Amino acid sequence: MWGRNVYDSISKFLQFQLTVNIVAVIVAFTGACITQDSPLKAVQMLWVNLIMDTFASLALATEPPTEALLLRKPYGRNKPLISRTMMKNILGHAVYQLTLIFTLLFVGEKLGQTRCSAHGEWGC
């Protein structure tokens, strides 16, 4: 029961870590190429890593095993650690996060402005 719980916790940890790392690398690289300045500075990347590792390790250590874990079949020795479903989740969440981040990065200023009724221009 404990072994299956540890395996599930490691899978969740990897899924979370890989998603955040993929997003952080793509944002830093693409932002630096397009805007000539990285949207995530070094200190911000350190904070992202600190928060990411803290939450992931808490999730890894705080979930107790349940009897339901014993009801499923055990995984084989040759089963990959990152399954097809996990890869779909990682890529899906990464695309979602990248869409939000790039929307805020490139059109966020326009989204925050309102039209001035007196002049009909943005950001009076």
pLDDT digits (tens, 9 = 90+) for 4-27: 888 888 888 889 889 988 998 898
Q: Supply the Cα-derived Rg of the chain in whole angstroms.
A: 21
Report pLDDT for 5.
85
Report pLDDT for 94.
96
Long-range contacts of residues 65-69, Cβ cutoff 8 Å, at least 24 apart? 65/1, 65/2, 65/4, 65/5, 66/1, 66/5, 67/1, 69/1, 69/4, 69/5, 69/8
In sequence order, the β-bridge partners of residue 115 are 122
Per domain, the residue ranges of the chain are: 1-66, 83-123
- Please give the helix or strand (H or E) that residue 80 lies within, else none: none
Report pLDDT for 124.
54
CA proximity to 66, closest of 118, 8, 26, 121: 8
User: In the chain, which residues have pLDDT < 70?
Assistant: 112-124
Report pLDDT for 123.
54
Q: How far apart are CA 94 and CA 26, in angstroms?
A: 10
State pTM to two decimals: 0.75
Tokens of 92: 């899906």
Report pLDDT for 13.
85
